[in-house]
A and B are shown apart, each in its own frame.
Chain A
């Protein structure tokens, strides 16, 4: 029986010719990632281990991004713990705030992940790198500790669901709308334990940033990973960002999929996920009158340069609604600088928004834009669980940067088309 793309990558990293869904394997890791919330727990776990050192100082990435710049004393202590560990073990890829960014935007940008690799990260959105044709998945701190010490992790080989994308998305439809649509269709546990394998001619119509946003939210369907085939765009991206050697894996013709969905991108509309689950999706045109207090544009899902460009296009020459709070947080320092040079930041500020330093901040209800009881936000982030952005009685609506920017102007959930764009 043939193997899926994911299965092929896992087999190669386990030193096996063949693997099957359900098989338990131990795979060699190309990169182990942690942040300021999960790494301190992992570091304490590692201290309990007999092995003292890390398996490879070049294959570990430590990115303080959740509560940075340090929100309070406790978070400062956590970052200090990570920093001291990084220096003690000579970790090559430790990023202090001046060179940092949100981990899942930063790692591809720094060229730390390329096609064909196996990556674990103590952060659920580690699945983002599937956009590059790598197998990457979120784990917990103990797995991270074991990974840092041994360079290995155990996996159950996943079965797969195939998403065949055809057609071309219309003007205001982005990768975010595609993935929200898919999660709405299959549910938040629709791909539980499985890999979501995206294929089809429609992929060429999705930019790398679109693909990152889609792979990023595979976890929101319960998936172990989401993965894209490697095409010309992927190769160009990797050449631009990385000097690492990459390996292209392709699914076998006779690979087995539990289900196949055909999705015509040209039929999709700007989409929004209502509280309190990412599966509560509907087209923006059916959202009704939902009054909004805050708009958040950024995160590891949609804080990349093309996201900011789209938002700026909608906001250009306009003012946000009176009483609206618009918070833009570019995902990395490089994106921040690029947005500044392109004049995008000026557009946000002139429209009445604020621009924050790269951080996870409001995305997880950490800091820099917390909601009070009864308040509502449209956010380009990936989760709208109860209390995710603040008070348990606040609400988060997930959408694309275009929809978020349009909503900031009208004060209610809107698409750019409502502005005549």
Chain B
């Protein structure tokens, strides 16, 4: 499994309130949520994002509210993978559980800028910055989580078990 796309870059402590503000939580439709994704921190994101793009951020990405609407909105907006220095734990589980690939890699978070073209190989955990010609080794998922991601989320994983 691979992802390849343009990078959208954010800083520290991006919380789920800015990923999808509470005022839009009266909907749970992924398409609706995707339209408002990142609105409070980056108004232009929804106009700029293309299917397959990659999101990169610094530490504690996805902190705050447990709303699964946050990874759902990111995935529905077209993002194929999120790379961060660290993730907040509920966001981490939610992303895995809905089948949004995420990778922790502090070096990559530092060595990748907005607009870079990046490829991620989920099997090896390798991250290639094609624009800068650099590469990073991200943290590979434990096997159990790989199975959940390959099943496209926890529900299918349980169904298949």
- Residues of chain A having any CB pair with chain B under 8 Å: 24, 37-38, 40-41, 44-45, 48-50, 66-67, 71-72, 74-75, 78, 122-124, 126, 138-143, 145-146, 149-150, 154, 188-189, 192-193, 219, 222, 224, 277, 364-366, 383, 385-388, 392
B21 touches A50 (CB 8 A): no
B40 touches A387 (CB 8 A): yes
- The minimal Cβ–Cβ distance linking A144 to chain B, given in whole angstroms, is 9
Q: Is B89 an interface residue (CB 8 A)?
A: yes
- The minimal Cβ–Cβ distance linking A23 to chain B, given in whole angstroms, is 10
- The minimal Cβ–Cβ distance linking B155 to chain A, given in whole angstroms, is 5
A222 touches B88 (CB 8 A): yes
Q: Is B113 an interface residue (CB 8 A)?
A: no
Contacts of A366 in B (CB 8 A): 22-23, 25
Contacts of B142 in A (CB 8 A): 24
* Complex: A188 Cα to B40 Cα, angstroms: 20
* Complex: A75 Cα to B22 Cα, angstroms: 12
Contact of A192 among B89, B94, B156 (CB under 8 A): B89
A140 touches B21 (CB 8 A): no
Interface centre among B88, B94, B156, B158 (most CB of A within 10 A): B158
- On chain B, the number of residues with a Cβ less than 8 Å from chain A's Cβ atoms is 40
6 further interface pairs, Cβ-Cβ under 8 Å (given A366-B22, A383-B15):
A124-B90, A126-B66, A146-B155, A154-B144, A219-B90, A388-B17
- Do A41 and B144 form a contact, CB below 8 Å, given A192-B88, A383-B17? no
Interface centre among B18, B67, B68 (most CB of A within 10 A): B68
- Residues of chain B having any CB pair with chain A under 8 Å: 13, 15, 17-18, 21-23, 25-28, 40-41, 59-60, 63-69, 71-72, 86, 88-90, 93-94, 97-98, 142, 144, 153-156, 158-159
B144 touches A222 (CB 8 A): no
Contacts of B59 in A (CB 8 A): 189
- The minimal Cβ–Cβ distance linking B140 to chain A, given in whole angstroms, is 14
A386 touches B66 (CB 8 A): no
Majority SS of interface residues in chain A? loop
Contact of B17 among A24, A141, A142, A385 (CB under 8 A): A385
Give A149's nearest chain B residue, CB to CB.
Answer: B158
A74 touches B68 (CB 8 A): no
Give A194's nearest chain B residue, CB to CB.
Answer: B89
* Complex: A383 Cα to B66 Cα, angstroms: 13
Contacts of B15 in A (CB 8 A): 383, 385-386
Contacts of A78 in B (CB 8 A): 26, 28
- The minimal Cβ–Cβ distance linking A389 to chain B, given in whole angstroms, is 9
Q: Which 8 A-B pairs have the closest CB atoms?
A: A140-B94, A140-B68, A74-B26, A142-B97, A189-B60, A124-B66, A141-B68, A138-B66
- Do A142 and B98 form a contact, CB below 8 Å, given A366-B22, A385-B18? yes
Can you sample 28 A-B contacts with CB below 8 Å?
A37-B25, A38-B67, A38-B68, A41-B69, A44-B28, A45-B155, A66-B25, A67-B26, A126-B66, A138-B90, A140-B68, A140-B71, A141-B94, A142-B68, A142-B97, A142-B154, A146-B158, A189-B60, A189-B63, A219-B64, A219-B90, A222-B60, A224-B89, A365-B17, A365-B22, A366-B23, A385-B15, A387-B40
